[in-house]
């Protein structure tokens, strides 16, 4: 049984009332508790995780003491829910420059929308181990498009390394528009949007149909864009059962994506990037479409990012858009803390729009979990949520803070990885000797 209980020394009245027969295995006391829902930290808070799930989190009632043989005194350390990284390529590559270990792209494949990232996730990948040590406990991972605007179907994974990393396979479909999509579609945004709309139309025509079509049907003139396998993979998208993540930056392209909901009202859209989203923030909010934004972009890197500003995420949130923060690179989301921390600092700059501390932390924990379909289950310490708990050396949004202990689903994780072993190997190396060989 997976079980972790995190408690304050001052009391447990509310928790005891909720679960009077609860077996108390581990106590972490005197913690500065972050719920992850946008609220401010709670001094001396309590979080209890039993059988892998949170049963209580908050301020304990006074006058109640807990007797236990296992006591961990946090001494005022920060305790938070695990971070939720989205969108990433975690688990799809061991060494990016070595093609045999890299499943991020599928050049030369006859498939596109039907590609399923969950079939290639490697739970022992060093990328997973390194990011687990950074406090990331869950992630949305996906392949990248190469010969088509469709990257395929992404998965929600955990980072506990138990050889069952996939929590939800085929959780979302990833498509790239803008400059990259135009390049993959034939050199024009016009072609990319036509390809997307035609693909959705083919998928719509397959709703309710199963099996392989008769030979006479395969050669139909109206069935020439996608293979049957790819078109069937888009059926959950047009019926609203699978989210459609659309990578797009330019204001005009964002408007074109939002217009798709008029033709396909059941689309569950999520904008990824949306560098110029602040220019149409009210329209995005009115459409009810969430955004996964990169909070560090403050200067244009491409022509479709001419309106780039680091205030993008803050302005979107102020307009009522649900905003999650993505890292600068999909392969290295460890910078989530830095990005969120920068948005907090941005609130102190005249004329800039950032996020308050609680809102910024939620943008890398509970909000991305909500966008990914795991609202209330991950990235937050509330009753019923998964028992992902992280203890930190300091403020988790300070770039110098690191996790000291990480629990995923109530199980404490090993934080060693290739990088920590290299650090330990060379930190006190006697330079008079030749470097020692690896232990394995």
Predicted pLDDT of residue 436: 61
**Span 69-85, average pLDDT:** 87
More confident residue, 227 or 128: 128
Angle, alpha carbons 399-144-368 (nearest 5°): 45
CATH 3.20.20.140 fits 83-376, yes or no: yes
DSSP annotation string for 207-271 = TT--SPPPHHHHT-TTS-SS-HHHHHHTHHHHTTSSEEEEEE-SHHHHHHHHHHHHH-TT--EEE
Question: What's the CATH code, domain 4-81+403-415?
Answer: 2.30.40.10
Q: Provide the pairing of β-strand 53-58 with 27-29.
A: unpaired
For CA atoms 361, 362, 368, 373, give the dihedral sign.
positive
- pLDDT above 90 as % of the chain: 57
pTM of the entire predicted model: 0.88
What band does 88 get if pLDDT is binned at 50, 70 and 90?
A: very high
Locate CATH 2.30.40.10 in the chain. Answer: 4-81+403-415
- Least confident segment among 103-117, 172-186, 210-224, 334-348: 210-224
Comparing C-alpha atoms, which of 261, 149, 250, 268 is closest to residue 199?
149
Query: Which residues of the chain does CATH 3.20.20.140 include?
Result: 83-376
Q: What is the DSSP letter of 23?
A: -
* Residue 6 vs residue 50, higher pLDDT: 50
pLDDT of residue 109: 82
Q: What confidence tens digit (pLDDT) does each residue in 340-368 have?
A: 999 999 999 999 999 999 999 999 999 99
């Amino acid at each position: 049984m997976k079980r972790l209980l995190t408690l304050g020394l001052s009391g447990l009245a509310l928790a005891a009332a909720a679960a009077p027969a609860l077996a108390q295995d581990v106590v972490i006391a005197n913690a500065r508790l972050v719920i992850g829902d946008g609220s401010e930290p709670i001094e001396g808070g309590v979080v209890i995780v039993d059988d892998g799930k949170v049963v209580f989190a908050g301020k304990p009632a006074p006058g109640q003491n807990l007797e236990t043989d296992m006591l961990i005194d946090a001494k005022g350390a920060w305790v938070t829910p695990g971070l939720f990284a989205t969108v990433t390529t975690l688990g799809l590559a061991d060494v990016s420059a070595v093609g045999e270990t890299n499943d991020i792209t599928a050049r030369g494949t006859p498939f596109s929308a039907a590609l399923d990232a969950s079939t290639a996730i490697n739970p022992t990948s060093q990328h997973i181990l390194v990011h687990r040590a950074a406090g990331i406990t869950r992630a949305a991972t996906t392949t990248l498009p190469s010969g088509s605007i469709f990257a395929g179907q992404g998965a929600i994974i955990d980072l506990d390394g138990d050889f069952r990393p996939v929590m939800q396979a085929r959780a979302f479909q990833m498509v790239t528009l803008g400059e990259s999509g135009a390049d993959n579609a034939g050199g024009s945004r016009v072609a990319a949007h036509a390809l997307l709309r035609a693909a959705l139309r083919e998928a719509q025509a397959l709703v309710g149909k199963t099996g392989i079509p008769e030979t006479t049907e395969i050669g139909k003139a109206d069935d020439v864009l996608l293979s049957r396998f790819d078109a069937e993979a888009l059926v959950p998208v047009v019926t609203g059962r699978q989210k459609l993540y659309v990578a797009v930056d330019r204001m005009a392209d964002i408007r074109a994506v939002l217009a798709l909901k008029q033709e396909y009202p059941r689309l569950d859209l999520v904008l990824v990037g949306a560098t110029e989203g602040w220019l149409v923030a009210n329209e995005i909010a009115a459409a009810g479409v969430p955004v996964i934004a990169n909070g560090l972009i403050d200067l244009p890197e491409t022509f479709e990012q001419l309106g780039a500003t680091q205030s993008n995420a803050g302005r979107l949130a102020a307009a009522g858009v649900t905003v999650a923060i993505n890292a600068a690179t999909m392969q290295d989301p460890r910078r989530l803390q830095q990005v969120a921390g920068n948005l907090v600092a941005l609130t102190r700059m005249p004329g800039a729009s950032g996020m308050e501390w609680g809102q910024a932390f939620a943008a890398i924990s509970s909000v991305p979990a909500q966008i990914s379909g795991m609202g209330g289950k991950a990235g937050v310490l509330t009753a019923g949520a998964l028992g992902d708990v992280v203890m930190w050396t300091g403020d988790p949004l300070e770039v110098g803070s690191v996790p000291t202990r990480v629990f995923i689903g109530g199980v404490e994780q090993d934080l060693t990885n290739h990088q920590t072993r290299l650090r330990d190997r060379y930190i006190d190396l006697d330079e008079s000797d030749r470097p020692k060989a690896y232990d394995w």
